[in-house]
Structure 1
Amino acid sequence: MKKSRTSLDRMDLNILGALQQDARLTAQELAQRLGLSASQVGRRRQRLETEGYVHHYTARLDPVALGLTVQAFIEVSMATHGIENATSFMRLIGTCREVTSAWTLTGAADYMLRCYCEDLPSLNRLIHEVLLPHPSVARVQSQIVMDQFKIDAPLPL
């Protein structure tokens, strides 16, 4: 069954918004922010998790502090299309630690990959030794991020 945003009330959206800002909030802290009891917030939070509105909780790490100084977006165009080629390519991407996000696209490119690498030689190796050798890949085009002035924002609720 497809979830609908309209099945969420304002309090559900407020809970989700608060969790996007700080997933470590306890039921008590959420309750104080939202004017509900901790048990009400706890039940609502559990329902939102069970119904799949919250996929998982994570920490946002600083890539530069971890030595990942190059962020890049890589467009990949395939020479051949088909379920076997797509499956093989997606499996390859699943093994690449540098690729933190991947999307299929409409338009000129078939895939968009977001990557974090230690340096430019590492990005070069990813492109020339991992991506381009794949038999279905026709073209790879990368854009190196100069500065990220807006950090990945919470979803608009």
Structure 2
Amino acid sequence: MTNTPFDLDRFDQAILRVLAAEGRISATELARRIGLSKSPTQARMKRLEEAGVITAYRAQLDPIKMGQAHVAFVEVRLSDTREAALQAFNKAVLAIPEVEQCHMMASRFDYLLKVRTGDIQDYRRVLGERISALPHVASTSTHVAMEAVKEAGV
């Protein structure tokens, strides 16, 4: 699998839009919606999977119903940004389940984390005990989300 863009025609794009919204749709219904028969639709899906355009099928969970309503975005500055330090941070942050996303940034800070917890007290514990203890963390700055206007999707 390469990281080069994959040439998507209008049928491929339609398949991806429908699957992103309804991953459990049957191949027959998907074919009907995009205007192809079932066999070509399945062949296109297989090609998109093999090319790495479709990477997984998964359930989309409601974090609020799971008791994970608190969302914070954390700017992280490292004390060392040499490759070994970056790799140490990258490896360690993967072990923190409350960190939903981690992005290396080209900014005044080095990483932006999306952290989901039950409430502000849980967040404070995760920040103090886990995030601040990550390798090479020099400082953090937290931004608390009040409402998610748009999340996920293509």
Please report the TM-score for the alignment, with normalisation by the length of structure 2: 0.93
Tell me the amino acid that sits aligned with residue 5 of structure 2: S
Secondary structure of 2:72 counterpart: strand
Aligned counterparts, 1:73-112, within 5 A: 73-112=73-112
Alignment-derived partner of residue 45 in structure 1: 45
Tell me the amino acid that sits aligned with residue 51 of structure 1: A
Tell me the amino acid that sits aligned with residue 92 of structure 2: L
Aligned counterparts, 1:19-58, within 5 A: 19-58=19-58
Alignment-derived partner of residue 122 in structure 1: 122
- Is 2:100–2:113's contact at 8 Å kept on the other side of the alignment? yes
**Is 2:4 aligned against 1:3?**
yes
- Is 2:63–2:69's contact at 8 Å kept on the other side of the alignment? yes
Q: Which runs of 5+ in 2 are unaligned?
A: none
Alignment-derived partner of residue 151 in structure 1: 151
Q: Which whole-Å deviations, capped at 9, do the CAs of 1:108-157 have from their partners, x for residues lacking one? A: 110011111012121111111112233411110111111112232x22xx
CA distance in 1, matches of 2:150, 2:110: 26
Tell me the amino acid that sits aligned with residue 126 of structure 1: V
CA distance in 2, matches of 1:147, 1:2: 33
Alignment-derived partner of residue 64 in structure 1: 64
Secondary structure of 2:94 counterpart: helix
Runs of 4 or more consecutive aligned structure 1 residues displaced over 3 Å after TM superposition: none
Please report the TM-score for the alignment, with normalisation by the length of structure 1: 0.91
The total of aligned residue pairs comes to: 153
CA distance in 1, matches of 2:13, 2:134: 43
- Cα offset for 1:2? 4.2
CA RMSD of aligned residues (A): 1.3
